[in-house]
Structure formats: C-alpha cells, structure tokens
A and B are shown apart, each in its own frame.
Chain A
Amino acid sequence: MVCKITSTNCSRRPRAGFILVEMIVGLAIGALVIAAFAVFSVFNARGFAGFATYATLDLANRKATDQMTKDFRMVQSLTNFSSSAISLVDFDGTSLQYSYSPISQTLSRIKSGVTTVLLRDCSRLSFSMGMRDLTNGTFDFFPTTNTFECKAITVNWCCSRKLLGVASDDMPQSETIVTRN
C-alpha cells in the first residue's frame, strides 16, 4: 500500500510564526499594557491608601472632638493650663487632664489614672482659653491666661500621616467649647 499525501494548506501560507518586526511590535504593545496596568495599580493603591488614611484620621478627629466636647462642657473648673496640656476638675470632682506630646505626636486623656490616647499622628496641637465676654463685632471670646477667668476652651490641631514617604494632606481641626458649669 502506498500512501501519498496529495494536498496540504501549508503550501499557501507558511506558518513560520512571528517575523521579527511583528514580535517587536507585539512586545512593545505588551509592555505598554503592562506598564499602564502597573501605573494604574500603583496609583490606585496609593489613592486608596491615602483615602483610607484620610478616613482613619477623620474618624480619629471626630472621636477626639466628641470626647473633648463632652468632657469640657461638664468640667467644673480649669486648674492648670499650658498650650499643650490642661488640667481640669471634672463634673464628679475628680481630676481630668489632656496632654499633647509633640515627640510622640499624641493627645492623651488622663482620667482616674487611666490614659487614653485620643489622637495619633498629631503634628501640632494647642490649647487656648477664652473669657465669658465676647468681643464687639466678631463675637469671638476674649482671650485670657488666667484659669479662673476661663469660660471657653479652644483646641486647634492637625493630624497627618506619611504614606510612602509623602505626608498626607493636613487636616486642620478647631473647636471651641463653652464650659457649662
């Protein structure tokens, strides 16, 4: 028996694979796609991390704001003051302290011997005091340095966090709380 191949398609279009030019173009396009994807991924990851940082700091700021607002409203008096720390007599007669450490960049609340860190990554924070009187026109509280004249406590702070070597946007916060007692 004689087998004879009489016909194939190979004779019309040689299937030799890529020619060099095609390969280079293909590689270039592939590299572009991969690069674009990588850039997109990095950008996306960075953006997401930044957004998550923002959300985290914002949450911490809100919690700190709410805690300070609640505390300062109820205190009986202010016993000691500096721009980075204040000591108060709480509504129940016990001591309450708020202290900012520029080294550790934290704001701590100290009550009954228990220290709670309210803020981390706090790049700056300052306390100031105001009297019960308001200035004409602006309705701002008159500032004072005497604790016995203090009726309003103002706190200014800013939190930021470094992300891949770049600090996140500042989130300056400010609140003024009028003590009720």
Chain B
Amino acid sequence: MKLYPSTKQPQSGHILLMGIIIAGCAGVALIAYLSVIVGQNSFTARSQMWNVCMPVVEAGLEEGLAHINNPGTTNFATMGWTWDATAKVFTKQGVLGNSYYVANIQPNLPNGPTITSTGYVPAPVTVADGGSYFMAAAMPAPGVTYISRTVRVTTRKDPLFGKALVVKNSIDFKGNNVTIDSYNSALGNYGGANIGDKGDVTTDNDIVGNVSTGNGDIWGHLITAPLASVNTGPNSVIGSLLWHAGGNKGIQPGWLKKDANVLMPDVQQPWVPGTQAFPTGAGAFKYILNGGNYEIGGACNVTSSDQMFVKGDSTLWVRGDFTMAGNVKMNGSGYRMTVYVSGNINFSGTWDKSIIPSDLIVYGLPTCKSISVSTGSHIECVLYAPEADMSMIGNAIYYGSAMVNSMRMNGTTGFHYDEALGQHPAYRGYVVTSWTEL
C-alpha cells in the first residue's frame, strides 16, 4: 500500500471570513445610521411642514378679515365666497404654491363675524408614500397627503374713538387742576356718579420728555411709546377711581403702559372741491344747514354776534379757517353735524346741541395745523385731526374724544371722555378678539 500525501496548499479562508464579518459590522452600523437619519429626517420634515401650515392658515384668516373690513359683510358672492347653507358660513379656498387654505366666515353674529381657516400643506414626501405634488393643478391634488391645522378667530368692531385723547407727539398738561376723566353720555350729564376712570391718554411718540403731566390728574391709563419719559408734577395723580379716592399721588402701578402703537391716517377730502352748495343764511342765522352736504370755499367765521342753525344731518366742508365764536343751534337731539376743516380751528362760542359728543364730529384735513379751545368754552365734540396741535386754555371744558398731533392743556381745563363713543358707528375696522387653534 502506498500513501500519497496531498501536494496542495491548505485553503484556510480566514481572509474571506474576516471580510464578511467586517462588512457585516459595517453594514449593521450603516443601517443603524440610516435608520436614525431617516427618523430624524421624517421628524424634521414633518415639524417644518406643521409650522409652515400656520402661515397658510393665517393667509386664510387675513383673507376673511380683509373681506369683512372692505367691502364689509356684504358682496360675498362677487368676491368669490360661496354660501354653505348647512354650516351657514361663506367659504373661500385660496392656493399658495402647493398648499391651500379654506376660509369660512360666519356673519351676523352679535359682536362681529367669526372666521375659521384651515391650512393644508403637503405632508413630507417619503419613500413610503412617494407622492409627487409638484405638478398639482388643483387643490387638493389627487394622491397627496396633507397636513392641516385650523384656527378660529372672533372679531369685533374697533371704535375709532376708543380712547379719550390720542396724540402723535407731545403731551403737556400745565396748571394746577387739569383733569382728564370719563363719563357716559348715555347715562346723562357728566358729574356725580357719572364719572369714570376711562380717560385714557395715549401718545405714539418716542421723544424723551415728551409727556409732561404737570400737576394734572388723569382718571385712566397713560400710554406712551417705549422710549418716552414721563414727567409728573408733585401733585399729579394718574390711575383708577380708587387710586384717586385713596388720596394717592403719582402713577398707579400698572396704569402707565409704554407700548403705544397707533396709526393715524390723514383725513381725505370728503368730495371734489366746489361741488356742493354754500350754506346760505336767513334772518338771525348767518348759516343754515338743512341736511346734506355744504361747502364754504374759504374761511368760516361765526362771530360772537352770529348764529349757525343746523336743521338736519349735515356735512360741512370749510376749506379755510373755522372760527366759532358765536352760537350754533342744532335743532334738537338726533341731528348730527360733521365738519371737515382745511384750515385752523378756533372754538370759543357756544353750542346749543345735545349732550352727545358724537352729534358733532370735526375732521381736520392735513392742512389743519392748529385747534384752539378758548377759556369759557364748553363743547361736546369728537375731533380727528392728526396734523393739528390742540390747546385748551383757561377753564375750557371738552366732552368727547380727540385724536390730534399734540395736546397742551392749561389752567383748570377739563377733558371728559364719553364712554358711549365706544359704541359709535365710526370704527377703524374689525379686529381680532380671540385666536384659538382648534
């Protein structure tokens, strides 16, 4: 028997085995990395889409707010809104890129319309769904999964004259007994129990030292811009009724706010100049306004011996200075007089009118630079003249509200805000009162 040992080299296979093990480890590590990356990517993408959804939702809210402010709670159909008889809402869809919103307006609510908006944003495209939304021609695009969020806001009318005194620049209260407070004309004349602490004073300017209350008293809040400094005299009192009743001095904590942010657009001409009638007079009356629109091409000067008679709801445009030193007789309550003034205003006469300030509204055009209320004057009025510097002198008393460029009060002048102006039909538009994500 012959034995023939193998002549071949032994095939160990170690390298292959090691290679497989190392590749396996690297593969496991790679899969783990990729899994974490996929998860991270999904979370990030979804979070981003979820947050992107909010601007889309608010675009729908803006659409609704824009409509109810202009043109208002009418003309829905002509502006692309459709009536949903089941939900009793007007509905409109808007497209923003590959996202869209559905906005609903529920009108005819006591305080103001309610707007509900739902925003839809394509969910992140993953390997699992693989849907493509880039060529979507209509919303919702077929086969696309959307992330949605819904927000509902309630609204109310924001009154134009919601504060006692609003100025763009400086406030200067001098004298020893300047008073700013409030009352409610719907409850009767000012005084007694009809005195409130809603005489809020606001300035929108940041000029350091632009608010000087002297020894004036404010039954209400003082609101300034962030950088404004307030100079108060030793006897100045600013705060609530209780703060005043308690004999306190200075500003009540929490009644000075430095976050004023006011927009006061200029007054526009009421109509094309020269197109309305001149208010002719008769008998003892220099001017008679029987209702409707009237226009005086230059200055209107009612001297102490003159009278003006307003017989119906009238609008008068004085294209020069307006000096009222005489007597204005308004024919009982319920009539409203609106005056546009292009020049300066001087009030020193008497007004035989109702106690309701909103029955007399005075608008100062941009060329109206000065408003003076002389001593002895007693006027229930609402003033809006953003470019005018207003001054009250002596013992002048003003009931109503004013929005002017600056304010200076001397002596023992008084400014009494009519809280009923919060219900006045003149309003700046609908504003949001609550914002809730559903």
In angstroms, Cα B29 to Cα A66, docked, is: 31
> How distant is A125 from chain B, measured CB to nearest CB, in Å?
20
Which among B3, B29, B259 is the interface contact of A144 at CB below 8 angstroms?
B259
The number of residues on chain B lying at the interface, defined by a beta carbon within 8 Å of a beta carbon of chain A, is 34
Interface: B427 (CB within 8 A): no
Which among B7, B33, B437 is the interface contact of A70 at CB below 8 angstroms?
B437
In angstroms, Cα B22 to Cα A144, docked, is: 60
Q: Which of B134-142, B303-311, B428-436 makes up part of the contact surface?
A: B428-436
CB pair B25–A41 under 8 Å, yes or no, is: yes
Q: Knowing A8-B5, A55-B36, A55-B40, say if A73 contacts B437 (CB, 8 Å).
A: yes
In angstroms, Cα B413 to Cα A137, docked, is: 40
* Residue of B whose beta carbon sits closest to that of A131: B259
In angstroms, Cα B50 to Cα A133, docked, is: 28
In angstroms, Cα B256 to Cα A146, docked, is: 10
Interface: B66 (CB within 8 A): no
Q: Knowing A41-B25, A55-B36, A131-B258, say if A142 contacts B226 (CB, 8 Å).
A: yes
Interface: B333 (CB within 8 A): no
CB pair A133–B5 under 8 Å, yes or no, is: no
> How distant is A28 from chain B, measured CB to nearest CB, in Å?
16
Report A18-71 residues with CB < 8 Å from chain B CB.
33, 37, 41, 44, 48, 51-52, 55, 58-59, 62, 65-66, 69-70
* Residue of B whose beta carbon sits closest to that of A149: B259
> How distant is A100 from chain B, measured CB to nearest CB, in Å?
22
> How distant is B46 from chain A, measured CB to nearest CB, in Å?
9
The number of residues on chain A lying at the interface, defined by a beta carbon within 8 Å of a beta carbon of chain B, is 35
Identify whether the interface residues of B are mostly helix, strand, loop, or mixed.
mixed
Interface: B51 (CB within 8 A): yes
Interface: A91 (CB within 8 A): yes
Q: Which residues of A contact B51 (CB under 8 A)?
A: 66, 69
The interface bits of chain B over 15-48 (1 if a CB of A lies within 8 angstroms of the residue's CB, else 0) are 0001000100100010011001001100110010
Q: Knowing A52-B36, A151-B259, say if A66 contacts B3 (CB, 8 Å).
A: no
Identify whether the interface residues of A are mostly helix, strand, loop, or mixed.
helix
> How distant is A53 from chain B, measured CB to nearest CB, in Å?
10
In angstroms, Cα B4 to Cα A10, docked, is: 11
CB pair A37–B436 under 8 Å, yes or no, is: no
Q: Knowing A69-B51, A149-B257, A181-B435, say if A131 contacts B43 (CB, 8 Å).
A: no
Q: Knowing A44-B29, A62-B43, say if A74 contacts B259 (CB, 8 Å).
A: no
In angstroms, Cα B260 to Cα A66, docked, is: 30
Interface: B1 (CB within 8 A): yes
* Residue of B whose beta carbon sits closest to that of A45: B29
Interface: B97 (CB within 8 A): no
> How distant is A22 from chain B, measured CB to nearest CB, in Å?
15
Which residue numbers of B lie inside 8 Å of A, CB to CB? 1-3, 5, 7, 18, 22, 25, 29, 32-33, 36, 39-40, 43-44, 47, 50-51, 153, 225-226, 254, 257-261, 432-437
Closest 10 CB pairs of A and B: A180-B435, A131-B259, A142-B226, A55-B40, A62-B47, A149-B259, A133-B226, A132-B259, A91-B436, A55-B36
A–B pairs, 8, beta carbons within 8 Å? A58-B40, A74-B435, A131-B259, A133-B261, A142-B226, A180-B153, A180-B435, A181-B433
Which residue numbers of A lie inside 8 Å of B, CB to CB? 3, 5-6, 8-10, 33, 37, 41, 44, 48, 51-52, 55, 58-59, 62, 65-66, 69-70, 73-74, 91, 131-133, 142, 144, 146, 148-149, 151, 180-181
Besides A133-B225, A180-B432, A180-B435, 19 more A-B contacts (Cβ < 8 Å) are: A3-B1, A6-B2, A9-B7, A37-B22, A48-B32, A58-B40, A58-B43, A59-B40, A59-B43, A62-B47, A66-B47, A66-B51, A69-B51, A133-B259, A142-B259, A148-B254, A149-B258, A180-B153, A181-B434
